[in-house]
């Protein structure tokens, strides 16, 4: 009997996964799709996505779906979503967005939808449609100038627009993360938060309009694939900024 009970106890987590990972029904909530995946040996996207999904649903304001397949961008299913959160680095051949998927994404945002880009999606693939750079405003690229630089470190985040709804209620905070700087930019970046390095202030979060759509981009949010790696999303201030960014983009 003890052996049988032990077996059942071991099996339960697989039969009944954590309720925190379940997709909760919020009929009146804003509909959010997190598109994740890419670079399995570099970023812990699945771990981060499950965490962010749970925290968004905990607010009771969002109904969150998750996909690792970018093919969804070209389907009618996108009509029901208010916000698309990109938590992915899609430069690898396996995960790269096709031209059709890029065009569908751009049309979807321009129609008046909300778009939130976290960290790795700012890494521009060489074959991106130029409008993808217009969508984000600033990207990491080693093709062209400037040659974007990357630095892991401990940073003090300074709020450039403390009254903006995305950072409302926050104060300057410190976080360990990976900074992309010397970004290749298209037009001015409306920075909400910056960090100081090498005698300059570098934007780490900004907003943008694309057509009728609302765009939020942060180059922060790096989490290594190693199980013991720290996740900046678990920092209360950074997490609050992400949740408020999704709410802002959904308006």
33 lies in some domain: yes
173 lies in some domain: yes
pLDDT > 70? residue 42: no
144 lies in some domain: yes
Using CA atoms, how far apart are residues 44 and 124, in angstroms rounded to an integer? 19
* Domain, as residue range, for 95: 29-250
Q: What total number of domains does the chain contain?
A: 1
231 lies in some domain: yes
Confidence at 88, pLDDT banded by 50, 70, 90? confident
pLDDT > 60? residue 14: no
pLDDT (tens digit per residue) in 96-117: 899 999 999 999 999 999 999 9
90 lies in some domain: yes
197 lies in some domain: yes
Using CA atoms, how far apart are residues 180 and 186, in angstroms rounded to an integer? 16
18 lies in some domain: no
Identify the bridge partners of residue 151 per DSSP, sorted by sequence position. Answer: 179
CATH code, 152: 3.40.50.880
Taking the model in full, what pTM does it have? 0.88
pLDDT of residue 19: 38
230 lies in some domain: yes
pLDDT > 70? residue 22: no
pLDDT > 90? residue 183: yes
pLDDT of residue 39: 62
Using CA atoms, how far apart are residues 158 and 172, in angstroms rounded to an integer? 5
pLDDT of residue 13: 40
Q: What is the DSSP string of 122-158?
A: GB--TT--HHHHHHHSEEB-SSSSS--EEEEEEEEEE
């Amino acid at each position: 009997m003890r052996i049988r009970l032990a077996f059942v106890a071991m099996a339960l987590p697989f039969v009944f996964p954590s309720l925190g990972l379940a997709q909760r029904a919020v009929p009146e909530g804003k509909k959010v799709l997190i598109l994740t995946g890419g670079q399995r040996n570099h970023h812990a996207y699945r771990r981060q996505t499950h965490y962010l999904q749970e925290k968004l649903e905990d607010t009771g304001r969002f109904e969150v779906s998750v996909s690792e397949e970018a093919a969804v961008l070209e389907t009618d299913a996108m009509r029901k979503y208010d916000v698309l959160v990109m938590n992915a680095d899609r430069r690898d051949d396996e995960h790269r967005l096709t031209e059709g998927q890029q065009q569908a994404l751009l049309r979807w945002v321009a129609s008046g939808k909300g778009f939130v880009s976290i960290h790795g999606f700012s890494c521009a693939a060489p074959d991106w449609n130029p409008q993808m750079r217009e969508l984000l405003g600033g990207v990491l690229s080693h093709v062209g100038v400037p040659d974007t630089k990357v630095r892991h470190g401990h940073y003090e985040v300074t709020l450039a627009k403390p009254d903006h709804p995305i950072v409302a209620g926050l104060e300057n905070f410190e976080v360990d993360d990976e900074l992309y700087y010397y970004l290749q930019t298209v037009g001015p970046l409306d920075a909400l938060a910056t960090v100081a390095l090498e005698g300059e202030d570098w934007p780490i979060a900004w907003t943008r309009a694309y057509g009728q759509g609302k765009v939020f981009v942060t180059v922060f949010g790096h989490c290594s694939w190693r199980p013991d790696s720290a996740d900046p999303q678990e920092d209360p201030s950074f997490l609050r900024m992400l949740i408020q960014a999704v709410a802002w983009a959904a308006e």
